[in-house]
Amino acid sequence: MTLSQIDHLALRCASVAATSDWYITTLGFEHVYPGHGGGVPVILRLGSTFLTLFPHKEDDPPAKNGQAWHLALRAPTYADFQSAQAELTTKGIPFQFRDHDISHSIYFSDPDAFLLEITTYDLEK
């Protein structure tokens, strides 16, 4: 078996439209394949990372161990990492910084309280 990367992460959302808009306007994702499957799921792309957004249903099982915990997006340079922090601050989105020794990360949540991370391995010298 040969695998090359994660294809997509599927998220259940209280409002697919609001969550989609947030990922597009806040993080720069692009809505691809509009209308596919009658509009469900909404498929978003950022580079080679895809998200599929589904409406939350009352009969969905509760979250259990082993389900998605967070999504990490990589900022290729430290300048990009700093720019991401500035943009989130401008948009009023709080985040927490963490120094992981080999990388730096910021953590924040989407409208459905799903944890997001922006990380860089290009540490400031």
Give pLDDT, residue 125. 60
In-domain check, residue 50: yes
Query: Are residue 53 and residue 74 in the same domain, yes or no?
Result: no
Give pLDDT, residue 85. 96
What gap in Å lies between CA 13 and CA 21, rounded to an integer? 12
In-domain check, residue 111: yes
By residue range, what is the domain housing residue 31?
A: 1-57
Give pLDDT, residue 21. 96
Q: Which residues pair with 97 in a beta bridge?
A: 106
Query: Are residue 37 and residue 82 in the same domain, yes or no?
Result: no
In-domain check, residue 94: yes
Query: Are residue 50 and residue 77 in the same domain, yes or no?
Result: no
Query: Are residue 102 and residue 77 in the same domain, yes or no?
Result: yes
Query: Are residue 51 and residue 92 in the same domain, yes or no?
Result: no
Q: What is the CATH number of the domain that holds 98?
A: 3.10.180.10
pLDDT tens digit at each of 125 positions of the chain: 776 778 789 888 888 999 999 999 999 999 998 888 788 889 999 998 899 888 888 877 766 666 787 898 988 899 999 999 999 999 999 999 999 888 899 999 999 989 899 999 898 76
In-domain check, residue 81: yes
In-domain check, residue 31: yes
Q: Which two tokens stand for residue 108?
A: 């924040």
Give pLDDT, residue 2. 73
CA distances from 18 to 2, 8, 99, 112 (A): 36, 19, 31, 9
Boundary (domain end) residue, out of 28, 57, 86: 57
Domain count, the chain: 2
